[in-house]
């Protein structure tokens, strides 16, 4: 697993956006062979989405032949509810780029048969040729997508009950009222994410420090589903300094040293093909 430690949220977001754009460009996607991206919601990826929109506006990346699969969606929230993940994705990303609506896949949390919806989602991913790059955030308790502590590390897309911790954490999007937060969600499984050819997890802020330490230094455990990344042949975490507070000094220095060439978001090896861009001002929005 690679751990790229960035100075702050802005450079972390820049780095991730440059990485994603580079991957898309390298793949030279076409209608016949699109690039397949797995996407998260939450506050962590907002800066990356802004930076990707900026790269798109500068014509440095195109999403014409990109197919997307979102990680999760709440159950029972109307698609046009301001806090649905459908709304989040269109407001923060899809409406600002040249993605074809038919290439966007988001789980339907209002499907009559939720189990069938989940099984069908897995089939759709398979039909699309699998996911090339799965992007994600992490919850303070180490969960990826909605794979809460105790989720099977070989889980696939399914209905999950949210833990009290997640409901409290996400209540900030529902006016601080935990009663308004849906209690269940549809989510891709840990295995669904691990089946991607590459996985990139964004970790920022002090409240993610324990999750990062467990993910990088802890054993592989269903109690910290981010730790499954240790089993992935191409797993990357990009973290900011604040999220590193619980890492051992040795671990921190080790990764700083082996990734020193890759710390400048403008000079990441994989983004060589992209012209150096001016920094985009990005700050956490929520």
Residues with a catalytic annotation lie at: 72, 141, 143, 148
Instruction: Give the DSSP letter of residue 75.
Output: S
- The gap from C-alpha 125 to its chain's centroid, in whole angstroms, comes to 16
Secondary structure class of 36 (helix, strand, coil) = strand
Angle, CA of 48, 3 and 257, to the nearest 5°:
120
Residue from 93, 146, 224, 252 binding ligand GLP (CB under 6 A): 146
- Other C-beta atoms closer than 10 Å to the C-beta of 261 total 9
Nearer to ligand GLP among residue 12 and residue 271 (C-beta): 12
Tokens representing 53? 């929109």
Specify whether the CB–CB gap between 205 and 240 falls below 8 A: yes
Specify whether the CB–CB gap between 215 and 136 falls below 8 A: no
Is beta strand 35-39 parallel, antiparallel or unpaired with respect to 133-136?
parallel
145 part of the interface to ligand GLP, by CB under 6 A: yes
C-alpha–C-alpha distance, residues 278 and 110, integer Å: 42
137 part of the interface to ligand GLP, by CB under 6 A: yes
Smallest distance, ligand GLP to C-beta of residue 272, A: 29
Nearer to ligand GLP among residue 44 and residue 277 (C-beta): 44
**38-46, 103-111, 190-198, 259-267 -> range binding ligand GLP (CB under 6 A):** 38-46
Smallest distance, ligand GLP to C-beta of residue 192, A: 13
Is beta strand 104-105 parallel, antiparallel or unpaired with respect to 72-74?
unpaired
What are the counts of helices (DSSP H) followed by strands (DSSP E) for the chain?
Answer: 8, 10
147 part of the interface to ligand GLP, by CB under 6 A: no
Specify whether the CB–CB gap between 202 and 16 falls below 8 A: yes
Smallest distance, ligand GLP to C-beta of residue 284, A: 9
**For residue 163, with 0-12 CB atoms within 10 Å meaning exposed, 13-18 middle and 19 or more buried, which class applies?**
middle
Nearer to ligand GLP among residue 42 and residue 215 (C-beta): 42
Cα radius of gyration (the chain): 18
**62-70, 139-147, 210-218, 274-282 -> range binding ligand GLP (CB under 6 A):** 139-147
Residue from 72, 73, 132, 240 binding ligand GLP (CB under 6 A): 72
9-27 helix and 46-57 helix, angle to the nearest 10 degrees: 50
Mask 165-184, x = binds ligand GLP (CB under 6 A)? Answer: -x------------------
Task: Give the binding-site size for ligand GLP (rule: CB under 6 A).
Answer: 13
Considering only CA atoms, which of 243, 236, 230 is closest in space to residue 270? 236
Residue from 13, 18, 44, 84 binding ligand GLP (CB under 6 A): 44
Nearer to ligand GLP among residue 46 and residue 268 (C-beta): 46
Residue from 36, 55, 71, 271 binding ligand GLP (CB under 6 A): 71
Nearer to ligand GLP among residue 180 and residue 256 (C-beta): 180
Smallest distance, ligand GLP to C-beta of residue 46, A: 8
**6-14, 42-50, 86-94, 149-157 -> range binding ligand GLP (CB under 6 A):** 42-50
Binding site for ligand GLP (CB under 6 A): 40, 42-44, 71-72, 136-139, 145-146, 166
């Amino acid at each position: 697993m690679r751990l790229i430690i960035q100075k702050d949220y802005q450079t972390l977001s820049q780095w991730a956006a440059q990485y994603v754009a580079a991957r898309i460009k390298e793949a030279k996607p076409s209608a016949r062979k699109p690039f397949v991206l797995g996407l998260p919601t939450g506050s962590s990826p907002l800066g990356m989405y802004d930076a990707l929109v900026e790269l798109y506006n500068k014509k440095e990346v195109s999403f014409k032949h990109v197919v997307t699969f979102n990680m999760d969606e709440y159950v029972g929230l109307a698609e046009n509810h301001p806090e649905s993940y459908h709304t989040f994705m269109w407001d923060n990303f899809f409406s600002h780029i040249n993605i074809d609506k038919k290439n966007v896949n988001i789980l339907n949390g209002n499907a009559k048969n939720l189990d069938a919806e989940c099984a069908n989602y897995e089939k759709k991913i398979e039909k699309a040729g699998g996911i090339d790059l799965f992007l994600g955030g992490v919850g303070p308790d180490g969960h990826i997508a909605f794979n809460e502590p105790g989720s099977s590390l070989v889980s696939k897309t399914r209905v999950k009950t949210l833990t009290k911790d997640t409901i409290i954490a996400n209540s900030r999007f529902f006016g601080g009222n935990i009663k308004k937060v849906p209690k269940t969600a549809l989510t891709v499984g840990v295995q669904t994410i691990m089946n991607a050819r590459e996985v990139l997890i964004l970790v920022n802020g002090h409240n993610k420090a324990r999750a990062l330490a467990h993910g990088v230094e802890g054993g592989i455990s269903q109690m910290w589903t981010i730790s499954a990344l240790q089993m992935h042949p191409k797993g990357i975490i990009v973290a900011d300094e604040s999220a590193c507070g619980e890492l051992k000094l040795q671990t921190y220095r080790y990764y700083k040293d082996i990734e020193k060439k890759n710390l400048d978001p403008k000079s990441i090896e994989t983004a060589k093909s992209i012209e150096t861009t001016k920094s985009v001002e990005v700050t956490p929005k929520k």
